[in-house]
Structure 1
Amino acid sequence: MPIKLLKASSILWMLILVACSNGTEEGYVNHHTTNRVEEGKMLRANRYLNKKDMLVVEGYIERHGVRMALSDYGFYYRCVEKGGGPKIKEGSVVLYAYKIHLIDGTPLDSSGTELAQIIVDKSGGIAGLHEGLKLFSEGDSAQLIFTPHLAYGLLGDGEKIPSRATLVYDIRIKSVQ
């Protein structure tokens, strides 16, 4: 009896081994290839959305009849009024008044009678604003337009700013230290 049991268990083990390793790679998922494919799709979608956002901004500029420059960082800007004070640079403490609205004109936020403060490249705020401020000087008034990837991105801020919002900033730089 033990020999029959031994033969039966040996045959069972052989079947299990053969079934588990049949020499094919069916069901195998190459995650590296899959990730590259997905990454490629996401990059194409991102390029499409960025191009679409820039077309919306260019339409805004044309409709409003203003001349704006495209920064190396990827946002549009213009100096509305020149002030002539010290130039803003990294580490500058800047006091400024601002109004923010969506590209469709919907008002979002304003400094009101208070001034906002930012330490350029050191404190919070959207990256685009830090880069934009460095183009100006104390006393300047400016307008900057940030597409979603330079502002609050895909999700917005969870409060006032909706998802994928293109923002128009009107700023007046009061003090640079």
Structure 2
Amino acid sequence: MKIKPIILLILIVSACKSPEARYPVSRSSGSYIDESVALNKKMIAKEEDQIKKLMANDPDTEYLSSSDGFWYYYNDKVEDSIHETPEFGDIVVFDYTISTLDGDPIYDIGEKPTKEYAIDKEKLFTGLRQGLKLMREGETVTFLFPSHKAYGYYGDRNKIGSNVPITAKVTLRDIKEEPVNETNN
């Protein structure tokens, strides 16, 4: 008779045991990701070297380096302090052309329509989104973008292929402050 309470106690203790974690059947070493990172770093370094050579061959132009990973120069610069740079939500109106780093046109004048863009509220490729924030109304700036700041791996699915560094000549026509939403209480 004493055996039954002992068996019952063993069953209760083993039933209260917490479940053990199950491990995956296959494990990946992460070598694919490591290889991909190394290839991307090599590609970015190659594109940046190409841009630096282009700048070195043009000593008469004052190139500026952006903290966001691209270079640019002013074709037409506005020096007065009246004109401000756009801020989050402001609507900017601009025209732009896109060329290869060698200067071959990809989208020439008129191929890209004048564009209205709400700063950081709409889709636009990374470099241009960041570049517009550096500009004042009336300025024309030429940007040199490595592919990861331009259209990246996918290109624009039209004229710009995969991993193509570009130059974009941008004229900022107008800056309209973000509309204020007024509600009646």
Alpha-carbon offset, residue 124 of structure 1: 1.8
Counterparts of residues 1-177 of structure 1 (less than 5 Å):
29-31=26-28, 33=29, 36-65=30-59, 66-83=61-78, 84=80, 85-110=83-108, 112=110, 114-177=113-176
Q: Tell me, in whole angstroms, the C-alpha distance in 1 between the residues paired with 2:116 and 2:85.
A: 16
Q: Flag the structure with higher helix content.
A: 1
Q: Which amino acid letter does the alignment assign opposite residue 30 of structure 1?
A: R
- Distance in structure 2 (CA, Å) of the matches to 1:155 and 1:88: 28
Q: CA deviation at 1:155?
A: 2.8
Could you tell me the TM-score, scaled by structure 2's length?
0.73
Q: Distance in 2 between matches of 1:39 and 1:115?
A: 40
Contiguous gaps of at least 5 residues in structure 1: 1-27
Once superposed, which parts of structure 1, at least 4 consecutive aligned residues long, lie more than 4 Å away? none
Residue by residue over 1:79-128, the C-alpha shift from the partner in whole angstroms, topping out at 9 and shown as x without a partner, is: 22222423112212111121110112120114529522211111122011
For this pair of structures, how many residues does the alignment match? 147
2: CA distance between counterparts of 1:111 and 1:69? 24
The Cα RMSD (Å) is 1.8
Specify the alignment match of 1:18 in structure 2. Answer: none
